[in-house]
Amino acid sequence: MYASPLLMDRRTLLAAGASLAAAPLASGLAAPPMEPVRVGVIGIGIRGRNLMNRTLIGKEGVLVTAVCDVDLNRRLDAKRRVDEVHGLDCVATDRHEEVLSRDDVDAVLIATPDHWHTHQIIDACVAGKDVYCEKPLTLTLRESQVVIAAARKHGVVFQTGSQQRTEFGQRFVRAAEAVRAGRIGKVMTVHVGVGDSPVWCDLPGEAPEPGLDWDRWLGPAPERAYNEILSPRGVHGHYPQWRSYREYAGGGLADMGAHHFDIAQWALGMDRSGPVRVVPPSDPTAMRGATLVYGDGVRLVHGGPSGATFIGEKGVIAVDRGRISSVPDGVLEWEAEGDERLPRHDGHVADWLQCIRDRSTPVCDVEVGARSAAICHLMNIAYWHRKELTWDPEAWRFEEEGANAWVDYTRRKGYGLPAY
């Protein structure tokens, strides 16, 4: 791994500060101040703004030093908020490359639309910046493979925004522990209840939003006219529906599937691998019922109650953000110990920041996030192409040669994947 002397000095300083802060102190002495992690936020829509406001601004040990968005109103609103709280002259730009070029940025939080993630991840890794990126991490199977390679090559600390592993009252942690410990016996089937596969965008064109660089918003996606459903005008308080369209995202299936399929992967012990067969539903018009089969025969099915439902030989565990239950009732009346106990964290961004300081691996690192995204992509391929396929999760290829044309897409001229 190559890293510049400047970057290595900064990483050493952060790690040294973390060690000093954790060291025992003589009576009456205050803990030394923590060297702040300096973060640039790329993408200031509702998710990026919420993460910035709740987990970065005003928090000990972190400074937001740059914000980036292709919408002028959103980035100036973010700058105003940062400047008010931190008393800084925060940099505001419409180019993520400017954020990554700065010496006062150690790490970036990426919360742009999905079709931009891989470009910005690669650029951040090459620049030596640690990365937090929202889920789903990628738009294609090929991108999943590439982001793992880029992050590993450059040695960055990487957290995927799959916060069900750290938040929501630890319900998902408890469910995963119980499944992994065999509390319901051998798992036979996992049902995941999330939304639909995406469709091609056919929205009418509208007058562009003043202050929005629409061409830059499109980036690698095909050229088309602006519509506010894709990029709402100004500072908005809802999740835009670019998520529903294939050019930009994986639909509701990937939007929440990146969370719930992630828990299935975790509970099945498949964070570094994946299924080996893709089976479309028998009804050629059905938009539920696509199934992925693992090497041990476990079936992962799209459809069922919201969240993840694990069906084993001896019982059932169902988990969602607001509930966890089991059949029989006593399955969850148990505390995992030793190797069976999964880590607990106080927050997803907090876990990432701590790992930056001590150069450790976050709970949902790049490969975990990329392979959970790959589950979503395989499910979508089952609906789009309606063919039973054999998948090699280690080689990232289908056995059926013609199907490998579906692992990626053709990007707009000038927006090919960056070298890493």
Beta bridge partners of 62: 37
Question: pLDDT digit string (tens) for 65-95?
Answer: 999 999 999 999 999 999 999 998 999 999 9
Tell me how long the chain is: 420
* 73, two tokens: 């109103």
The amino acid occupying position 327 is V
d(CA 298, CA 182) in angstroms, rounded, equals: 14
Report the percentage of the chain scoring pLDDT > 70.
92
What pLDDT band is residue 31 in, cutting at 50, 70 and 90?
very low
Number of other CB atoms surrounding residue 376 within 10 Å: 31
Please state the CATH superfamily assignment of the domain spanning residues 170-197+252-342+366-403 in this structure: Dihydrodipicolinate Reductase; domain 2 (3.30.360.10)
pLDDT(4) > 60: no
**CB–CB of 140/377 below 8 Å?**
yes
| Mean pLDDT, rounded, of the chain | 94
Cα distance between residue 325 and residue 194, in whole Å? 18
Whether pTM exceeds 0.95: no
Residue 25's pLDDT band (cuts 50, 70, 90): very low
Looking at residue 13, its pLDDT comes to 58
Answer whether residue 302 shows pLDDT above 80.
yes
Tokens of 46: 């509702």
Neighbour-count burial of 262, counting CB atoms closer than 10 A to its CB (0-12 exposed, 13-18 middle, 19+ buried) = buried
Amino acid found at 5: P
| Cα–Cα distance for residue pair 32/116, rounded to 1 Å | 39
Q: Which residues pair with 37 in a beta bridge?
A: 62
Residue 304 phi/psi, 5° resolution? 130, -170
Q: Tell me which H or E stretch contains 385.
A: helix 366-385
